[in-house]
């Protein structure tokens, strides 16, 4: 029963995490950039009031913690022979890639969303357009966030592919 509950939590949080990252990176972010200053209110609503970046980070943390717990339970306490055996290797590789993706998202991407949120919040509160320095900060932070978004998106796609095909790795290894 414990494994079933952990799997449901892991898969549910993982689906939300991967889906949210890909939706934001592939659709929302490009639309916001194309909309220019007109998207300021939407961006602030999404980041501050809806706490979208916090929801993404939280779902990633829940998915990874549940996944690690599953791996510990099903590998007899992280036994290397089981972890790196053909039947488990896909889960091990997928988990490692997901953890790296979470690290990039949490330590690099998330702080940049907070910078954007704080800057836009100040502009909206004061009812003024951005200064040249604020424009440069938003542009620079946006470039960094887009690059990190690609790293996280590709990492999560690789993790999903590894985990979805893990039961077949034994056929080829």
H/E stretch holding 145: helix 132-164
Q: Which residues of the chain have pLDDT under 70?
A: none
Report the alpha-carbon distance of residue 24 to residue 144 in Å, rounded. 15
Per-residue confidence (pLDDT) for residue 87, from 0 to 100: 86
Per-residue confidence (pLDDT) for residue 168, from 0 to 100: 95
Nearest to 65 by CA among 29, 20, 32, 106: 106
Q: What are phi and psi of 77, to 5 degrees?
A: 80, 35
**Is the dihedral angle over the CA atoms 99, 100, 102, 103 positive or is it negative?**
positive
Prediction pTM value: 0.94
Which residue is it, tokens 């990874």? 64
Per-residue confidence (pLDDT) for residue 146, from 0 to 100: 96
For the stretch 73-119, pLDDT in tens is 999 999 999 999 998 999 999 999 999 999 999 999 999 999 999 99
Per-residue confidence (pLDDT) for residue 1, from 0 to 100: 85
Which residue is it, tokens 């892991």? 10
Residues making up the chain, counted from first to last: 173
Q: How distant, in Å, are the alpha carbons of 28, 48, 122, 129 from that of 126?
A: 26, 16, 6, 9
**Domains of the chain: which residue ranges?**
2-172
Per-residue confidence (pLDDT) for residue 20, from 0 to 100: 98
Per-residue confidence (pLDDT) for residue 40, from 0 to 100: 93
Per-residue confidence (pLDDT) for residue 172, from 0 to 100: 87
Per-residue confidence (pLDDT) for residue 8, from 0 to 100: 98
Q: What are phi and psi of 17, to 5 degrees?
A: -60, -55
Nearest to 105 by CA among 154, 45, 160, 163: 154
């Amino acid at each position: 029963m414990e494994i079933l509950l952990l799997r449901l939590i892991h898969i549910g949080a993982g689906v939300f995490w991967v889906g949210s990252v890909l939706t934001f990176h592939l659709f929302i972010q490009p639309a916001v950039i194309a909309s220019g200053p007109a998207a300021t209110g939407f961006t602030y609503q999404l980041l501050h009031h809806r706490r979208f970046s916090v929801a993404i980070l939280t779902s990633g943390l829940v998915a990874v913690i549940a996944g690690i717990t599953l791996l510990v339970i099903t590998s007899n306490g992280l036994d290397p022979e089981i972890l790196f055996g053909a039947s488990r290797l896909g889960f091990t590789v997928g988990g490692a890639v997901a953890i790296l993706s979470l690290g990039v998202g949490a330590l690099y991407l998330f702080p940049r969303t907070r910078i954007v949120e704080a800057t836009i919040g100040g502009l909206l509160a004061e009812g003024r357009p951005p200064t040249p320095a604020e424009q440069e900060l938003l542009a620079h932070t946006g470039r960094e966030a887009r690059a990190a978004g690609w790293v996280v998106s590709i990492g999560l796609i690789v993790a999903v592919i590894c985990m979805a095909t893990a039961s077949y790795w034994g056929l080829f290894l």
